[in-house]
């Protein structure tokens, strides 16, 4: 409880960038068109499908809900896998054009300079993550680990991807902070015993964020501070290492008090 922050674990879609609205949904629709499917995911439908994490899992959920007559054939023919692979290719082309969310690059630079290990823990596919990171030549080298869709079988809200990342970085949850943007991601991080900050994204504004250490509009920039909605409030509206350390200390103190009770 001395405020030693050793790890920063970042979700990808909606947290590092608004990839869901500006990349993933478009990539799915491009994949549908490429494969000659008459499927189309508009913004409203896609927002509902985001309740399921993982691309192949989301495709299956869509079929179960909207096109049940196609489900068995889609599984037998490998269509779900083909659509997902096509989506990954299309997203990788779009991703470098999607800007990082406010404060993200600033915080990653600060954490890297201080020797804090940085991991991306996501249900997205690794090629898409790498494609987005390529927009800044130095950014990929500041990320110590990408724990992506391919790393674990069970997707968020299960904690597996976070546990996988913590094990490989040899970090304790008590020495880390996670940053998420959705209820699904928050549940995964909390299940891994990680203090978690939420930055609201386009599709998650109405999610339930009970248990989050802080809920903010974003990480904040000096010219455009973040707005606080719940929990701890960063000084001057900037999420920096000092704020993350304070969140870590507070979460550890609360956990210790509950053990004593």
How many CB atoms are closer than 10 A to CB 19?
Answer: 25
Look at residue 222 and tell me whether its pLDDT is greater than 50: yes
Enzyme catalytic residues:
11, 13
| Partners of residue 145 on adjacent β-strands | 119
Mean pLDDT, residues 135-145 taken together? 96
State the sign of the Cα–Cα–Cα–Cα dihedral 200, 175, 160, 189: negative
Dihedral of CA atoms 249, 15, 122, 81 in degrees, nearest 10, equals 170
Return residue ranges of the chain for CATH 3.40.50.1000.
7-18+98-260
**Distance between terminal CA atoms of the chain?**
18
- Does domain 20-96 bear CATH number 1.10.10.10? no
Is the domain defined by 7-18+98-260 classed in CATH 3.40.50.300? no
pLDDT-derived band at 1 (thresholds 50, 70, 90) equals very low
CA distances from 244 to 52, 63, 197, 199, 225 (A): 29, 41, 9, 13, 16
Angle of CA points 214, 175, 106, to nearest 5°:
60
Q: Where in the chain is the domain with CATH 1.10.150.240?
A: 20-96
Secondary structure class of 199 (helix, strand, coil): strand
Q: What percent of the chain has pLDDT over 90?
A: 89
pLDDT at 67 over 70: yes
pTM comes to 0.92
Decide: 53 and 160 in contact? Cβ < 8 Å.
no
């Amino acid at each position: 409880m001395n405020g030693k922050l050793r790890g920063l674990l970042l979700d990808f879609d909606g947290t590092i960038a608004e990839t869901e609205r500006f990349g993933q949904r478009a990539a799915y629709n491009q994949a549908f068109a490429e494969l000659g499917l008459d499927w189309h995911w508009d913004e409203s439908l896609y927002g509902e499908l985001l309740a399921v994490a993982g691309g192949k899992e989301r495709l299956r959920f869509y079929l179960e809900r909207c096109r049940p007559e196609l489900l068995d054939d889609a599984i037998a023919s490998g269509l779900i896998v083909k659509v997902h692979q096509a989506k990954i290719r299309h997203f990788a082309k779009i991703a470098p054009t999607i800007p990082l969310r406010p404060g993200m690059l600033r915080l990653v630079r600060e954490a890297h300079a201080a020797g804090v290990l940085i991991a991306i823990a996501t249900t997205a596919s690794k090629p898409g993550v790498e494609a987005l990171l390529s927009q800044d030549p130095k950014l990929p080298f500041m990320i110590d680990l990408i724990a992506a869709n391919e790393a674990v079988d069970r997707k968020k809200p299960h904690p597996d991807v976070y546990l996988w990342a913590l094990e490989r970085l040899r970090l304790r949850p008590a020495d880390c902070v996670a940053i998420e943007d959705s209820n699904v991601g928050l549940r995964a991080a909390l299940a891994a015993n990680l203090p978690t900050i939420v930055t609201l994204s386009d599709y998650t504004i109405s999610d339930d964020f009970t248990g989050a250490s802080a809920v903010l509009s974003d990480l904040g920039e000096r010219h455009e501070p973040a707005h606080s909605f719940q929990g701890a409030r960063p000084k001057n509206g900037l999420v920096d290492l000092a704020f993350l350390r304070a969140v870590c200390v507070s979460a550890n103190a609360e956990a210790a008090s509950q053990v004593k009770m």
